[in-house]
Structure 1
Amino acid sequence: MNLQAFIRLALAEDLGDGDHTSLSTIPADAQRRARLLVKEAGILAGVDVALAVFAEVDPHLQVYVQIQDGTPVKPGDIVLTVEGKAQSILQAERLVLNCMQRMSGIATYTRRMVNMLEGTRTQLLDTRKTTPNFRICEKMATKIGGAVNHRFGLYDMILIKDNHVDYAGGIEAAITKAVEYLQRTGKSLRIEVETRNQAEVEEVLRVGQVDSILLDNFSPDGIRDMVRLINGRFVTEASGGINESNLRAYAETGVDYISSGALTHQVKSLDLSLKAY
């Protein structure tokens, strides 16, 4: 789903057969203005989405952006002003706020996690643990916060996880079938395989033919041992129960990437409002 498709679906969900409150109380030709205000400190995200929402609702709305995505903000800051048809501003208001508040919350939390990695070689990855049909915005927000986008969906990478391994009959069988599939279809996709213990890591090292090894639910000491064992032959990623409390310990193991679902499923939205003036 692209951004425009998401916006159209979200507006259809909200508007139905019309914003009857605005249609009944505001003259059709009324021209007004509003400004988007910050009410809580954090990292701003979603300005580009807001611009796309306003344009979809009414291309004649004039929007003046004062603060860009990725900027630290504080209470009282004015992100943007919008001028034009009052009914259009009111129709766009809730979708703009819903998107920007959640995106800014994600960007704020992500930036805090990224800052904790300072001085290490490890980069932070997001995951597919996202809100259905809102993934495009949540992935935008993690990137604005400083993380690296992992695969967007099931279609842009082969990630052989534990269930795939068990269903396929083991790691070697799963890797072999994945490689054969790519050869047969002519697709060019990276292959990553999840490992749960040292024996599985050693099997991947023996079989090869992958790009990355995912080390799932290892302790920091376990990750350090596996990074030494892999010795740069494959890109390494740590995942499983990693959050603010233990992120630094995992990063200090020398692993290439750390993925954390907490970036998108354990965040609080940033308080923003759109007010007439």
Structure 2
Amino acid sequence: MSIIKTISSDVDSMRAAIVPLPKVILEPLVRHALREDLGRAGDLTSDAIVPRDVQARLRLMARETGVLAGLDLARLAFQLMDAGIQMKARLEDGARLMPGDEIAVLTGSAHAILGAERTALNFLGQLSGVATATASIADAIRGYGTRVSCTRKTLPGLRAVQKYAVRVGGGSNHRFGLDDAVLIKDNHIAVAGSVREAILRARAGVGHMVKIQLEVDTLEQLAQGLELGIDAVLLDNMSLDTLKEAVRLVDGRAVTEASGRVTPATAVAVAQTGVNLIAVGWLTHSASVLDVGLDACNA
């Protein structure tokens, strides 16, 4: 089986294989967010109203339809405030949510739970929003052999967890940073003087394990890249007919990735051109936050 076939096979099995991020990555993010919220004097409202010995039982609830992501960050937020807080998850990351679904039950210090509430909900809402946005495209193109991919257009400081949420939603990750792989864009070509020179410099400047992707907006640029054996090509803002022709020219010699303001409404037509991946920046930089709340238990 070719590498091209491998990356586009069985989206459902890929989603099932999502591995949680290690605590060493998550904890600094959560600590920073808690410190930002607690500021210089702590939770003045809870300090004045809620005695430290009062216990509470509260529920994390979904208030709209979506895909759940970020439970580990929410759990950390509560437990960093008070290690005695217990969070019993009713659902797991990747679960499809409906309004009124109970996500988790929290028991422990009311003071500590309220102090961590906004931080936990911010992470849950933001990451569930990313997962939900990703799923809106992943679901639309299921069956076409094409996968949706994110970009480096992430919120500063949240790249690792936003890209995790993309995986939870059924998508795949592009580069995590500038040190992952080579992506030759128009400005690199302008500085180098030509597509050929940019590729030759890149090939000479990196190790044998580093992949090289070329961004092109014309078939002429694509042909030049293929002559030099690029690993992947980013087909930027091409018409559907041009995308089809680009896929034909590549003929399995490189991974093909389309980009250019793709939405759930247009994703199917792009997938039908035969590209392996569709890159979508707004999944991480502009996805709507999913509404998740913290409510008192009735019993």
TM-score, normalized by the shorter chain, greater than 0.5: yes
- Say yes or no: does 1:227 pair with 2:240: no
Number of residue-to-residue matches in the alignment: 273
* Contact 1:57-1:91 within 8 A present in 2 as well: yes
CA RMSD of aligned residues (A): 1.6
Q: Does 1:30 align with 2:54?
A: yes
Partner of residue 189, structure 1: 210
Alpha-carbon deviation of 1:112?
1.6
TM (norm. structure 1) is 0.93
Runs ≥4 residues deviating over 6 A: none
Where does residue 107 of structure 1 map in the other structure? 131
Residue aligned with 1:2, SS: helix
Q: Are residue 2 (structure 1) and residue 7 (structure 2) matched?
A: no
CA-CA distance at 1:30 after TM superposition: 2.0
Separation in 2 of the partners of 1:88 and 1:234?
Answer: 53
Corresponding residue number in structure 1 for 2:71: 47
The whole-number CA distance in structure 1 between the counterparts of 2:34 and 2:194 is 46
What residue in structure 2 maps to residue 14 of structure 1?
Answer: 37
Matches within 5 A, 1:170-189: 170-183=194-207, 188-189=209-210
Alignment partners' CA distance in 1, 2:262 and 2:76: 34
Aligned 1:1-277 pairs, distance under 5 A: 2-17=25-40, 18-183=42-207, 188-208=209-229, 210-277=230-297
- Counterpart-to-counterpart distance in 2, 1:263 and 1:34: 31
**CA shift at 1:58, angstroms?**
2.1
Matched residue SS, 2:265? coil
- Structure 1: which 5+ residue stretches go unaligned? none
Give structure 2 stretches of 5+ with no counterpart.
1-23
What per-residue deviation string (whole Å, max 9, x for no partner) do you get for residues 147-180 of structure 1? 0111112221211111122122222222222222
TM-score when normalising by structure 2 = 0.87
Task: Tell me how far apart the structure 2 counterparts of residues 10 and 173 of structure 1 sit (CA, whole Å).
Answer: 45
Cα deviation, 1:196-254, whole Å, max 9, x if unaligned, reads 1011101101222x310111111111011011111111111111121122211110011
Contact 1:99/1:137 (CA < 8 Å) preserved in 2? no
Amino acid of the residue matched to residue 143 of structure 1?
R
Give the secondary structure class of the aligned counterpart of 1:128. coil
CA distance in 2, matches of 1:50, 1:226: 44
Distance in 2 (alpha carbons) for counterparts of 1:23 and 1:88:
10
> How far is the alpha carbon of 1:32 from its aligned partner?
1.6
Superposed displacement of residue 98, structure 1: 0.9
Calculate percent identity across the aligned residue pairs: 41
Helix, strand or coil at the partner of 1:23:
helix
Deviation (angstroms), 1:113:
0.8
- What secondary structure is seen at the aligned counterpart in 2 of 1:22? helix
Kindly state the Cα deviation for residue 83 of structure 1 after the two structures are TM-superposed.
1.1
